[in-house]
Structure formats: C-alpha cells, structure tokens
Amino acid sequence: MPQEEEIMAIKVSENGRLFTLQTKDSSYQMFADDKNVLLHLYYGEKIGEENLSGLIFCTDMGFAGNPEEAGPNRKYSLDTLPQEIPGSGVGDFRDDMIEIRHADGSFAADFRFDSFEILDHSYAIPGMPALYDTEEEKGETLVITMTEKASDIVLKLFYGVFEKENVITRAARLENHGETAIELEKMLSFSMDLMYENYEMIYFSGRHAMERTAERIPVQHAKVEIGSTRGTSSHHYNPAVILCEEGADETHGSCIGACLVYSGNFVAAAQKDQKNQTRFQMGIHPTNFCFHLEKGEAFDTPQAILSYSGTGLTKLSQQYHEIIREHICRGAYKHAKRPILINNWEATYFNFNEEKILKIAEQAQKLGIEMLVLDDGWFGKREDDNSGLGDWFVNEKKMNGSMAQLAEKIHKMGMKFGLWFEPEMISEDSDLYRAHPDWAFAIPGRVPNHSRNQLVLDMTREDVREYLLERLTTIVHDAKIDYVKWDMNRSVCDVYSHVAAQNRNGELYHRYVLGVYDLLERFLAACPDLLLEGCSGGGGRYDAGMMYYSPQIWCSDNTDAINRLSIQYGSSFFYPISTVGSHVSVCPNHQTGRVTPFRTRGDVALAGSFGYEMDLNKISDEEKEMVKEQVATMHTYYDLTHEGLYYRLTGLKKQDFMAWEFVAKDQSRALLTIVKTDAEGNMLPVHTKVCGLAENKLYRCSLDGEIRSGRTWNRAGLTLHQVLKEYESIRVEFTEVE
Ligand code: DGJ
C-alpha cells in the first residue's frame, strides 16, 4: 500500500470502513456498515471526512424485508438503504445492478464488504478503454473487495479519482471462484442512491443525421431510462447523462455527469424509490446479455466517468472536456495540429476516378487545405452501397493504378492523404463473403436483416480480425497513408457466432465491442503516426470509448449548418470540441435542402476539427476567397477551439440565435460566434452573454474596438448593432490589452 502522503484524494477512516473520495471541489462518501452492506452516503460539493451515515433515516416502511443480520430490527432493510451495490433477489426490490443465475437455478446476488486496497495510479480494464495516467497527472484508485454471501463469487469495485478535473470513475470486476459455473445476466458499471435531492435528467437523443438533441426531464417515481441495444452506442441515445438539481443552468446548481467509456449496448437510468431517494445507474444493457463464467473466469464492466459541478453545466462540461482530451484521447494527434481536410464524399459519392480526385485535391491545395480524404468506393466492386465491403483491395482500374501511386501524387502536392474503411462490415456480393459466409453474423435457420444491404462481420473471431488487420496495415503502410476514416454503417442484430459455444451467445454483443477495440488497438500500434477519425454513419458511435482510439469523430452525416448547431450543442455537454469532425458543404444542403451563407457554414464548422466536403472546382471565385479566409481563420483560432475553454451562451429554450465562445486557457483572448437561426420583421436586438474573461484584465472587442474589463464584459454582455438576417453569422474576438 502506498504511503499516506502519496495518497491525497482517497481518505479512509481508522477502522477501514468509511471511504471519502476527495477531488478539488467534490466529495464522494460510502460506508461499510456493521452488516457489511456498502452504503452510499454522499456525492456533491466538497465536504469534510465526517461519517454521514447519520443522514440515513431508518424506519419500518412495511413490505420492506429484513436480512438475517437485522434480527428483530424491522427498520433495517436492504429495500430502503442507500447503497453502492444493490443486490438482486434478496430483499432490495428496486432495480438491481448485478443479476446472477447459479448452478442450482436460483437467482441471487448479495454482496458484502470484505476489504480494500489503495493504488497510487489509475486502474486499467482488460481489453477496454479507460482513463489513463499521464506524466503531468496521475489518478488514484480505491479497490473495494466484496464477497457474495452464499457463494464463492468475488466482486471488485474500482473507484478512480482525478482530483483536478473533479472526476471519479467507477468500474467493477466479478470473479467466479466457485466450483460451478454461473450465468451473469446483468452487470452494470455503477449504481448509487442519492438520498434527498430532487433531480432532472439531461440526456441526448436523436436519429441518424440528427444526433444528440438535448432533452431534460424530471426524475420521479416513474423510471427515466435511455439506452441502446443496437450493438453500438447509437445515434438514438448517447451514453452520457446528467442528473442536475431542478432549475440548474449553465452557471448555477449542482450537476452530476455520468459518461460511459464504451461503444456498445448501454443503459442509463434514474428513478425515485418509495423514500424519494434517487437510484442512478449506468452500464451495459442487460438485454441480450448473459455471460457464462466457469470457475476462475471473470467479467469486467466498462468504466463510467462521473463528475460533479456545484456551479452548473458549463463547469461540468469543461471538466469532461479536460478529462477526455487529456486522459482518453491518445496517439500522435492528441495535441498535434490536425490537418484541415477535404473529403470527396458529398462531392462525388461513388462516382469518381483518379482524375476527379486529383482535381479536387489540386484546387483544395491552392486554397490552403492540407489533406485529401478519399471516401467510400475505392476498393473491390463498389460502385454503389450494395457490394464490395470486405474486399479491401484497391480497384486499380477505377483508380488508374495503385493506392501508393495516388497517395504519392497527393503527397507531391504537399498534402496529406487519408482513406475511408468500413472494416466491421461485409457485403454478400463480395469475394470475402463468397469465401467465408460464416464470417458474417447470421442465426442458423433465419435470414439476417440487411441494412444498407450489408451484413455485420463476426468481430469476436480472431481470424476475422487477423484478416482485417493485415488488409488495413498493408494498405496504410504501402501507400504511406496519413489518416483513416473508420466507418460503421448499420446497427447490429441477428447475432450468432459460428465459432462460439452455444451457451456463449449472450456474450456476443459485448465480445463484438471487445473485438473492435482489439483490432483498433493492434492497428494503431502498427500505424502509430496515423490520425484516426471515427465514424458510424456520422455520430452513431460518438462516445468516450471510441475517443480512446480516434481523437476526432465525424459527428453527424448532417452537414446542414443550422441542424449542426443543435447537434454540436448536444455534443458539447461531454465531449471536447476537438473531437467534433465538422465540415463545410455545398448548398442547397444535401440532407435538408436548406441554403445558408457560406460564411455561416464556415463559422459553424470552425467549432470542431475543421474540413470541407464539396467539389471546390464547382464553387464561385468569391466562395474560393472565402475558403482561403476560413482556412486562415482556422489557423488563427486553432489553439482556442482545440485547447481552450468552451462556453455555451444560449440554451435549450427557443430563441432566435445561438451563440458560443472559446476562451484561451491563459484568458488572453476569446472568440465568440453568433448564428441567427430565425428571423422576424422589425428585428429585435441580439444581446448575448460573454463568459470566462479574466475579471481584472482589459479586453478590446473586435466589433467596435470598445475596451472594457473582463468583469464588465462578463456581466453586461454584448449587443450587436447590426441586424443579422436569417442564418447569418458573426464572429467577435476579445483581445487582452495591456
Ligand atoms: C457514412 C459516413 O458518415 C459518410 O461520411 C460516408 O463516409 C459514407 N458512410 C460512405 O459510405
């Protein structure tokens, strides 16, 4: 065990039963009571280390049974106590966290405190992404060991603490030490019972091309639950939710965030119990989940990143931005400047050849764009989306030569070269499928669903992953490719593996995700200089799990600047702006038909990892000049957008403009952007908040040269003296003056 002075954040009482996790501004407390039940006592604003078990009101609530250790005490019930690890089938009738079917057919899980250990570093989870230590900052870990009351099952609870970011992580590992096999039918990453507060849940729902719309709902006795059973985290719900105090806003109120570092099926739920305590849970969705654990086998949950802010949503988001940027994102481009890219997808779709691609690249290069990304259609027989997936061999006829030759031509222009793959998929009309039909998920005796006319590869198979690894690395190495866009274009169903034992089929959704992570890990190890951009039909897998491999993710297939405002707004609650893949495209927009000014499209895309998605040969000279200006603007503000602090200046309620702001970490300058989203006759003024400027510094505003103190700007805000027409945008810079 490390020395006490080495451990700053994890405080344990002398009797070893009271645990207080301290971050800069928050505290989390739990206590193993005299019956070894692990009670949740507190998560909120920073407090001392006094035992808060006195906050619990024990009463006989009726129909709330008493465990044997309570003897005649009818007031002690697992059904009413605030717990960290609610069992199942043994007297807590609320939603459980772990469900086990034992060899005798019984369902019971009753975990009791056994011991603890403290580590002076972060914990890793086998085969899964998790927050990692850096030279600048190390986490601390509390490992609590629990044992199941009537079987030889051990549960290890992991609590990680990152003090500076006010982050506490949770994950758990269940080990079967018994002689007989068990079936694990549910195992979440965390559960906690918050005793007295009233909460609202903010979650992010949507659909393909319209992801992460923020919604807010009170948590009452009817359960508020979101999740995905699509095999991916999904466009439909994002694996990140906030429980906030009623009425909390950007700058007021307590908020608890929970963000799952996972890219597959998940559930997040909150519900008040009969005592008005809120049970808050998150983890792998129990639907279609069942892990068979033989003696000696273990199951690890994904990690959940919890964070607390006592002063509203902006602080909470900034804490998530920092922790994800510094302790999830990895690789050569974690901090290195990302190239401004041009992607040919909306310019050509499948209808391209070498000549067209080179022309797009040549024009892009003249305008200052730094990388050409060749999207879908360069391989196998792929003239539309009905065939070819899996045949990762260059179509040399279409490309007029090898990929290395094309890449060389692009590199000679002084540009980087990127390539699209969709490794996890297979078309029935492909050589790969003809050779290995059993590599696709399909349940014997059933015809599998087609989606985009493609099937899903069985990523749980080692041979499938070996094939993909060989193909991807060979192409990347041969052609000296700088960037890969890793796409995934359908939900996963009809899951059945031809190599897994039949009693292991309930493991496949999770093993699929582990397979993807394994392939990503090995691919990146073989190509360490690569910039990987994640994608799943846009933002269908826009989650902290994927961000461990790809520091930017194509945030949505929707490039309409106005729709993007809401998508990027929703994304900003948890994910750093640097992770948002964001492009300027043509108008009328291909997804919505809307026409927006070229300038606005640029200003919206600037709030992300910036690029273009159009044929630059087909735009006017005036627009070409604007591209040059936008490219220059991107360089000017790169440090702000990728490393600065982000502020949402407008919110969920309907208004006729949206605004956001980036502030440099040293508060020397800030960039504020306003987009007019609705227009009326006799227009009312646009007045916006200004945030985050240093109180005692003076700042000049780029609009009218006005100089005021940060304190004044932060409180009085800014009024535009020009009328913005519908969809027009404006950028305002604040610069520190001596
Ligand atoms: C979906 C992606 O989101 C698009 O950008 C594009 O890459 C297509 N797939 C290609 O099939």
pLDDT in tens, 724-736: 999 999 999 999 9
Q: Give the pLDDT confidence score for residue 6 in this predicted structure.
A: 65
Q: Give the pLDDT confidence score for residue 127 in this predicted structure.
A: 98
The reported pTM is 0.98
List the catalytic residue out of 114, 137, 623, 656: 623
533 lines ligand 1 (CB under 6 A): no
Report how far residue 600's alpha carbon sits from residue 647's, in angstroms, rounded to the nearest whole number.
19
pLDDT band (50, 70, 90) for residue 1: low
111 lines ligand 1 (CB under 6 A): no
The answer for residues whose C-beta is within 8 angstroms of residue 249's C-beta and 6 or more apart is 312, 313, 651
267: nearest Cα among 316, 290, 234, 220? 234
Q: Does 536 score more than 90 pLDDT?
A: yes
Which residue has a Cα nearest atom 10 of ligand 1?
376
487 lines ligand 1 (CB under 6 A): yes
489 lines ligand 1 (CB under 6 A): yes
Q: What is the mean pLDDT of residues 387-396?
A: 98
List the catalytic residue out of 245, 376, 543, 728: 543
b/e 318-342 (16+ beta carbons within 10 angstroms → b): bbbbbbbbbbbbbbebeeeebbbbb
Q: Is 684 exposed, middle or buried (0-12, 13-18, 19+ CB in 10 A)?
A: exposed
- Pocket probe mutation, ligand 1, options 351, 373, 378, 557, max atoms within 8 Å of Cβ: 557
Report how far residue 167's alpha carbon sits from residue 228's, in angstroms, rounded to the nearest whole number.
25
121: nearest Cα among 223, 268, 6, 290? 6
Residue 526 carries which DSSP code?
H
Residue whose pair of structure tokens reads 């990728």 in the numeric block: 642
pLDDT band (50, 70, 90) for residue 416: very high
Q: Give the pLDDT confidence score for residue 723 in this predicted structure.
A: 94
Q: Within 13 Å and on the Cβ side, how many CA atoms surround 595?
A: 2
User: Which of helix, strand or coil describes residue 689?
Assistant: coil
Listing DSSP states for 307-328 in one string gives EEESB-HHHHHHHHHHHHHHHT
Which stretch of DSSP H or E encloses residue 475? helix 462-479
Listing DSSP states for 13-80 in one string gives -TTS-EEEEE-SSEEEEEEE-TT--EEEEEEEE---S---GGG------SS----GGGTT-TT--TTT
Q: Are 479 and 402 in contact, with CB atoms under 8 Å apart?
A: yes
Share of the chain above pLDDT 90, in %: 97
Which residue has a Cα nearest atom 1 of ligand 1?
537
Ligand 1 nearest-atom number relative to CA 420 = 7
Residue 658 carries which DSSP code?
E
Q: Does 80 score more than 80 pLDDT?
A: yes
Per-residue pLDDT tens for 433-452?
999 999 999 999 999 999 99
Integer angstrom CA distances of residue 573 from 191, 257, 268, 611: 22, 9, 16, 22
Per-residue pLDDT tens for 12-49?
999 999 999 999 999 999 999 999 999 999 999 999 99
Cα of 487 vs centre of ligand 1, distance in Å, is 7
How many other CB atoms are there within 10 angstroms of residue 394's CB atom? 21
Q: Does 7 score more than 70 pLDDT?
A: no
- Pocket probe mutation, ligand 1, options 352, 376, 419, max atoms within 8 Å of Cβ: 376
Cα of 489 vs centre of ligand 1, distance in Å, is 8
Report how far residue 710's alpha carbon sits from residue 456's, in angstroms, rounded to the nearest whole number.
54
Integer angstrom CA distances of residue 320 from 44, 530, 638: 16, 25, 20
Task: For the chain, give the mean pLDDT.
Answer: 97
209 lines ligand 1 (CB under 6 A): no
Integer angstrom CA distances of residue 684 from 28, 146, 676, 681, 716: 46, 61, 12, 9, 18
Cα of 538 vs centre of ligand 1, distance in Å, is 7
Cα of 581 vs centre of ligand 1, distance in Å, is 13
Q: Where are the beta strands (DSSP E) in 586-678?
A: 609-613, 645-648, 657-663, 669-676
557 lines ligand 1 (CB under 6 A): yes
376 lines ligand 1 (CB under 6 A): yes
Per-residue pLDDT tens for 189-247?
999 999 999 999 999 999 999 999 999 999 999 999 999 999 999 999 999 999 999 99
Give me the residues paired with residue 371 across strands.
Answer: 341, 416
Which residue has a Cα nearest atom 11 of ligand 1?
376
User: Which of helix, strand or coil describes residue 650?
Assistant: coil
375 lines ligand 1 (CB under 6 A): yes
Per-residue pLDDT tens for 682-693?
989 999 999 999
Is 543 in the active site?
yes
Per-residue pLDDT tens for 157-186?
999 999 999 999 999 999 999 999 999 999
Structure token digits, residue 329 = 């994102």
Which residue has a Cα nearest atom 2 of ligand 1?
537
Per-residue pLDDT tens for 611-623?
999 999 999 999 9
Q: Over the Cα atoms of the chain, what is R_g?
A: 27
Cα of 421 vs centre of ligand 1, distance in Å, is 10
Q: Is 568 exposed, middle or buried (0-12, 13-18, 19+ CB in 10 A)?
A: buried
Q: Does 509 score more than 80 pLDDT?
A: yes
Per-residue pLDDT tens for 255-301?
999 999 999 999 999 999 999 999 999 999 999 999 999 999 999 99
Q: What is the mean pLDDT of residues 316-344?
A: 98
User: Which of helix, strand or coil describes residue 244?
Assistant: strand
pLDDT band (50, 70, 90) for residue 502: confident
Q: Are 374 and 630 in contact, with CB atoms under 8 Å apart?
A: no
Q: What is the mean pLDDT of residues 553-577?
A: 98
Q: Is 710 exposed, middle or buried (0-12, 13-18, 19+ CB in 10 A)?
A: buried
539 lines ligand 1 (CB under 6 A): no
End-to-end CA distance of the chain: 51
Per-residue pLDDT tens for 522-535?
999 999 999 999 99
Cα of 342 vs centre of ligand 1, distance in Å, is 14
Q: Are 82 and 54 in contact, with CB atoms under 8 Å apart?
A: no
Per-residue pLDDT tens for 114-148?
999 999 999 999 999 999 999 999 999 999 999 99
Integer angstrom CA distances of residue 694 from 146, 519, 673, 701, 726: 48, 45, 19, 14, 33
pLDDT band (50, 70, 90) for residue 3: low
User: Which of helix, strand or coil describes residue 269?
Assistant: strand
Is 249 in the active site?
no
268: nearest Cα among 278, 247, 283? 283
Q: Give the pLDDT confidence score for residue 582 in this predicted structure.
A: 98
Which stretch of DSSP H or E encloses residue 462? helix 462-479
Per-residue pLDDT tens for 81-107?
999 999 999 999 999 999 999 999 999
